[in-house]
Amino acid sequence: MLKIKKDIEIVRSNTAGLSSLSQESSDAIFKVLSDHFTCVKSCAVDNLIDLESLVSRKPDLVFLGLEFIPIFLGAGNQNANRIWVTKYLEDNGITSTGSSQNALQLQRNKALAKQCVIDANLMTSPFCIIKQGQKPNKDYMPLTYPLFIKPLDRGGGLGIDSNSVAYNFEQLVSKVRSIASTFQSDSIIEEYLPGREFSVAILKDENAESYSVMPIELIAPKDKYGIRILSDKVKNANVEQAVEVIEGDIKRRVTALALNVFNALGARDYGRIDIRLDKNDNPHFLEANLIPSLISGYGSFPKACLLNAGISHESMIVNIAKLGLDRLPVIKYQPKVLPSFLLAPAFANDTHISI
């Protein structure tokens, strides 16, 4: 097979909590791309020095496996302390796979994503935020029990378990405290949706402006309370069932909502939208993952591609890479943009808003 003459680097992080791409997934992507492109490398970007080194090598495409890096060690998780990798690469004339910084910021913060969906007149469960150290007010709870509690800015089911569904104030307080202690994260509180759960893979069609929208139903084992929850334990063990969606009306409404949410978030190329039904079988947006797991036979995205359209793992990876290459800058490798934090005094006493 004649290989395409392009230089591609697969980028992830070795820092816990930063990488959206596991080493296993990176290795699998490397193997696939090496069969189709002349030069494929993989690297870890953990800090600004690593990012500068990546830019200096001037690859034709970065296969993106992380959203941001901290400006410096110990900077914390505030937005002002982050360098968004896709934007930094773009400013230096290098294209990357997947969505832009704005869309990645929205999907990272579940409250911002849900508000964006509400502003677009799309369905999502009512919600509120309880910040770390903030004690919920028992006499003022704008939501109706049962409630679902999860970390505001974590993915992969982190922080989700059998205690995520609260039927009273005491259970709510206990779970919020657990999230703050374990993840140093605010909590997002939603009215619990008791219906079926779906994961929808969205992949732009090569050489076309249309998208393939591919839903699957995810059926988790019942927990000790008899509830099906896609917890981090369930996801890591890969024990949930992935079932093709056959019913015409449900499939139509779930896929329509997923694509509308994808567009409302300003996402591009590919991503995963999670949806759950309420007690009346109305679909509601749960959350988005715009750098979903791409491990063959593991993540919802590859499963949905295979079940719906027969798209193999190899074809999926190559398609994602080609979509990124289609956005090659007209003028490549402009002068490097120096991060603004290097041009201004330190902001140790400033107040920053976390997103």
Same domain, 263 and 212: yes
Unique residue bearing structure tokens 């104030």:
169
Residue 137 structural domain: 126-192
Same-domain status, 281 and 178: no
So what's the pLDDT on residue 344? 37
Do 111 and 243 sit in the same domain of this protein? Answer: yes
Domain presence at residue 234: yes
Residue 349 is assigned to a structural domain of this protein: no
108 and 201 part of one domain: yes
Is there a domain that residue 350 lies in?
Answer: no
User: Pick from 161, 192, 223: which residue ends a domain?
Assistant: 192
Give the domain CATH number at 236: 3.30.470.20
- Is the domain of 44 the same as that of 136? no
- State the Cα–Cα distance between residues 273 and 290, nearest whole angstrom: 8
Last residue of a domain, one of 192, 217, 247: 192
Same domain, yes or no: 79 and 135:
no
228 and 290: one domain? yes
User: Residue 214 has what pLDDT?
Assistant: 97
Digit-by-digit pLDDT tens for the chain (355 residues) are 799 999 999 999 998 778 888 888 899 999 999 999 999 999 999 999 999 999 999 999 999 999 999 886 554 454 557 899 999 999 999 999 999 999 999 999 999 999 999 999 999 999 999 998 888 888 788 899 999 999 998 877 788 888 999 999 999 999 999 999 988 889 999 999 999 999 999 999 987 789 999 999 999 888 888 888 887 787 777 788 889 998 789 999 999 999 999 999 999 999 999 999 999 999 999 999 999 989 887 889 999 999 999 999 999 999 999 999 998 664 444 445 444 444 333 333 333 222 2
Summary count for the chain: helices (H), strands (E):
10, 14
Same domain, 55 and 144: no
Per-residue model confidence (pLDDT) at position 165: 94
Say if 322 falls within a structural domain. no
Instruction: Say if residue 154 is in the same domain as residue 180.
Output: yes
The CATH number of residue 150's host domain is 3.30.1490.20
- DSSP assignment of 258-309, as one string? HHHHHHHTT--SEEEEEEEE-TT--EEEEEEESS----TTTSHHHHHHHHHH
Cα dihedral value 198, 204, 209, 215, nearest 10: -20
Contacts of 333 (CB under 8 A, 6+ apart): 58, 92, 93, 94
Cα 36 from chain centroid? 26
The 10 Å CB-count burial string (b at 16+, else e) for 163-192 is: bbbbeeeebbbebbbbbbeebebbbbbbbb
16 shares its domain with 42: yes
Strands 61-64 and 4-12, sheet pairing: parallel
Question: Has residue 348 been placed in a domain?
Answer: no
Domain total of the chain: 3
For residue 308, what are the contacts with CB-CB under 8 A and spacing of at least 6? Answer: 201, 212, 214, 215, 216, 244
Residue 220: which of 143, 164, 302 has the closest Cα? 164
**Contact predicate 45/69, CB 8 Å:** yes
Single pTM value for the model:
0.87
Name the residue among 9, 104, 4 with its Cα closest to residue 56. Answer: 9
Assign 3-class secondary structure to 38-107.
Answer: EEEEEEECCCHHHHHHHHHHCCCEEEECECEEECCCCCCCCHHHEEEHHHHHHHCCCCECCCCHHHHHHH
- Whether 165 and 32 map to the same domain: the answer is no
User: 227 exposed, middle or buried (CB, 10 Å; 0-12, 13-18, 19+)?
Assistant: middle
Six-digit token pair at 206? 């090569």
What is the structure's pLDDT at 51?
A: 95
Q: Give yes or no: residues 91 and 230 share one domain.
A: no
